[in-house]
Amino acid sequence: MISCLAEITDSAQRRRYVRSYRRSVPQLVWTSWTSRVRGVAPAPIGAGYNIDWKGTDMAFASPEDKFGIKVQSKPGARTIDQKYSVLLGLVVLVLGILGFILTGFTNFTEMTDHAIFGLFQTNGFHNTIYLILGVFWLLGAFALTPPGNQGMNIAVGGALLLVAVLGFLGYWSLLSIPPGFNGDNILDLAVAIATLIVGGGVLSAGSRRASTA
């Protein structure tokens, strides 16, 4: 632009050129420039200054591509991982509801003698964790893509494995889980291992090999 203005001696023509240039310059946008856009070399003295505008492509990553969140439901059979999430989500929600029927809303974070099916000791806080975990699993099954659901299962399985180890060591009196071998700690360990296996894609890989055989 400076080289062009230097060649224009008429002040009125120079002002018109500047106004035209301001109108033609596009606003900067957050975009991904493609290889079609090239830098423009200064025009030689005495030659016209022309810009061959090739255009740009706007690259937008959808929530599905970025985070594994479904933009819209797609027809088709659910994967083993999604079926697992649905099953575990419903089971854990039922445990949370049954737990509140037993414990009510008193002694929320204290050790109690309430046990679901006589096996899984619980209190109000433990029941709340059941409900939250159930909602997470159902969201993973219905609101995430299969890879996103697998990632969620890996995260949940790792968290449950840590909960099981701390439970065996006796650090979960807040959840009314006694130390040592008992129904709660064994359940947490079993579900953690199963969830990590499912999230790791072991069952999905096996089913794909069987279908192609």
Q: pLDDT digit string (tens) for 158-202?
A: 999 999 999 999 999 999 999 999 999 999 999 999 999 999 887
Residues 75 and 93 in one domain: yes
Q: Where are the beta strands (DSSP E) in the chain?
A: 115-116, 120-121
The mean pLDDT of 114-129, rounded to a whole number, is: 95
Residues 5 and 107 in one domain: no
Does the pLDDT of residue 208 top 50, yes or no?
yes
Task: Report the candidate in 160, 203, 177 with the shortest Cα–Cα distance to residue 122.
Answer: 177
CB-based burial of residue 6 (10 Å sphere; 0-12 exposed, 13-18 middle, 19+ buried)?
A: exposed
Instruction: Kindly list the distances between the CA atom of residue 151 and the CA atoms of 6, 66, 75, 207, in Å, as whole numbers in the listed order.
Output: 61, 13, 21, 19
The mean pLDDT of 127-137, rounded to a whole number, is: 96
Question: Would residue 37 count as lying in a domain?
Answer: yes
Does the pLDDT of residue 3 top 80, yes or no?
no
Question: Does residue 26 or residue 150 have the better pLDDT?
Answer: 150
Domain boundary among 60, 87, 111: 60
Task: Report the candidate in 132, 119, 191, 111 with the shortest Cα–Cα distance to residue 158.
Answer: 191
Task: Report the candidate in 139, 121, 132, 103 with the shortest Cα–Cα distance to residue 180.
Answer: 121
Residues in the chain: 213
Q: What is the pLDDT of residue 19?
A: 72
> pLDDT tens digits, residue range 59-84?
555 555 655 666 545 556 788 999 99
Does the pLDDT of residue 44 top 80, yes or no?
no
Q: What is the pLDDT of residue 11?
A: 74
Domain boundary among 42, 60, 78: 60
Question: Would residue 65 count as lying in a domain?
Answer: no
Residues 159 and 201 in one domain: yes
Domain span at residue 32 reads 1-60
Residues 178 and 94 in one domain: yes
Task: Report the candidate in 167, 171, 194 with the shortest Cα–Cα distance to residue 183.
Answer: 167
Domain boundary among 60, 87, 106: 60
Residues 131 and 156 in one domain: yes
Q: Are 80 and 204 in contact (CB under 8 A)?
A: yes
Q: What is the pLDDT of residue 187?
A: 96
Question: Would residue 39 count as lying in a domain?
Answer: yes
Does the pLDDT of residue 45 top 60, yes or no?
no
User: What is the identity of the amino acid at 168?
Assistant: F
Query: Number of structural domains, the chain?
Result: 2
Q: Please tell me the least confidently modeled range out of 67-81, 106-120, 146-160.
A: 67-81
Task: Report the candidate in 188, 135, 194 with the shortest Cα–Cα distance to residue 160.
Answer: 188
Cross-strand bridge partners of residue 32: 57
Q: Which two tokens stand for residue 180?
A: 């040592």
Task: Report how far apart the first and last C-alpha atoms of the chain are (Å, whole number).
Answer: 67
Residues 105 and 131: their CA atoms lie apart, in Å, by: 14
